[in-house]
Amino acid sequence: MPGLEDLYKEIILDHYKNPRNQGELSVPPAIMEEGFNPLCGDEVKVYVLTDGDLIKDIRIDGQGCSISQASASMMAESVLDKTLEEAKNLIERFKEMMSVHESNMDSEELSEDNDENSLGDLQALKGVVKYPVRIKCATLGWNTFDQIITPEE
Ligand code: ZN
């Protein structure tokens, strides 16, 4: 599909230049976790404010490469107003997408997803799988967010 890769690059660049849900929330009531990716020097702070089961607000503060910052921005946009359950499900599916081995890579596979299961714009990050060094950039914000909503006990 010609142009698809360009479109994906554009989506990533757009989120990098105009990050969504950027900023801070006061802690408490919000919860904050920091994530680092020493391989690339990426830093992400994720602030989450929940209301019962609902992700009422999420803010991202960080610096680093375009992949890390765009991915965190896309994550924030995707999980806002979702339930914790839905957010966990999305993390699961995103990580699955980012762990696809090259030999299994079939770009058609994901585009055949029905709307309900579609990762939407998040699929723009799938191309990162081709560059294993950058996968940690793409998953940084997600892992940090996961630490907040899935506390280790
Ligand atoms: Zn990076």
The share of the chain scoring above pLDDT 70, in percent, equals: 86
Mean pLDDT across 116-120: 70
Calculate how far, in angstroms, residue 53's C-alpha sits from the geometric centre of ligand 1. 31
In Å, how far from its chain's centre is CA 149? 14
Calculate how far, in angstroms, residue 52's C-alpha sits from the geometric centre of ligand 1. 33
Calculate how far, in angstroms, residue 67's C-alpha sits from the geometric centre of ligand 1. 6
Query: Is residue 112 scored above 50 in pLDDT?
Result: no
Calculate how far, in angstroms, residue 72's C-alpha sits from the geometric centre of ligand 1. 11
Query: Is residue 113 scored above 90 in pLDDT?
Result: no
Mean pLDDT across 106-120: 55
Calculate how far, in angstroms, residue 143's C-alpha sits from the geometric centre of ligand 1. 14
pTM here?
0.86
Mean pLDDT across 97-109: 59
Calculate how far, in angstroms, residue 135's C-alpha sits from the geometric centre of ligand 1. 8
Q: How confident is the model at residue 132 (pLDDT cuts 50, 70, 90)?
A: confident
Q: How confident is the model at residue 117 (pLDDT cuts 50, 70, 90)?
A: low
Give me the chain's average pLDDT, please: 88
**Sequential DSSP letters for 59-86:** EEEEES-HHHHHHHHHHHHHHTT-BHHH
Calculate how far, in angstroms, residue 134's C-alpha sits from the geometric centre of ligand 1. 6
Residue-wise pLDDT tens digits, 19-67: 999 999 999 999 999 999 999 999 999 999 999 999 999 999 999 999 9
Structure tokens at 44: 């992400």
Q: How confident is the model at residue 108 (pLDDT cuts 50, 70, 90)?
A: very low
Calculate how far, in angstroms, residue 133's C-alpha sits from the geometric centre of ligand 1. 8
Measured CA distances, 119 to 31, 110, 146 (Å): 26, 8, 17
